[in-house]
Structure 1
């Protein structure tokens, strides 16, 4: 029984995904969400600065009890800001994954379809940098772009 010859191909998946219009939409959504969070953070920072300046201006006139209350208030606000920053970073990472996962899945499916339709045994992703040599393989990006109706 004759063994089927392996046919190798490669594609730069990152380049392919960058060409997909869905990615541009996802990045625009990410930009909007990022700007909203930055605005909230700036508002919190402005509130902190305002309260800190007021405290510094009044510190000499305040009783020890009031000073302690104002210092606790400033510390609590500072902690809220730090917590918001951390939660915002986590939220942005989750949002990016939520937006990009369907796009990556669509690209992978198109690559798989091209591989099957053109009898490729393996398709390697050259964007990862893990593939060091690929002379004896075909670049299938144009086939995948055609499958996805990309220019």
Structure 2
């Protein structure tokens, strides 16, 4: 009976050793890597140029609208009631068009951002996967997120950069 107990204890110890295998965890600074990727830098520049162009266009139209409003305020007293109603309706329509153009520009910018960043994020995720497999990491956490409570594992940032060639 004693031999059976010893054998049972040995088997349980052996099994628990396999179950208790330490999981390898690493962290990576995703934002830092993204900001170093040439294609992300290029995409940021293109998106900034697009945004600046749209903003300049909207500002030009808004300035013209403001000039029309000021002109109406100065000359409104000289107009008949019917002319004033027509001018106010025209100004209201112009204001609505400006707001719609602004919303459209914002949506266009977001669509362009999504289209530009999707392949960049895929490339980064693929590199993280390759680095994790190459180094035997079971989990990799983004070190910049607030969800990370404990950070003592190896840092995967260098390995991911190596996979990306940066």
TM-score by length of 1: 0.92
Q: Which has the higher contact order (CA 8 A, sep 6+)?
A: 1
Corresponding residue number in structure 2 for 1:114: 131
Number of residue pairs matched? Answer: 149
Q: Establish whether residue 143 from structure 1 lines up as the match of residue 159 from structure 2.
A: yes
CA RMSD of aligned residues (A): 1.4
Q: Distance in 1 between matches of 2:146 and 2:123?
A: 22
Secondary structure in 2 aligned to 1:9? strand
Q: Establish whether residue 19 from structure 1 lines up as the match of residue 36 from structure 2.
A: yes
Q: 1:54 aligns with which of 71, 75, 87?
A: 71
4+ long deviations beyond 4 Å = none
TM-score by length of 2: 0.84
Long gaps (5+) in structure 1: none
Bigger Rg over Cα: 2
Q: Distance in 1 between matches of 2:154 and 2:99?
A: 50
Long gaps (5+) in structure 2: 1-14
Corresponding residue number in structure 1 for 2:114: 97
TM-superposed deviation, 1:117? 1.0
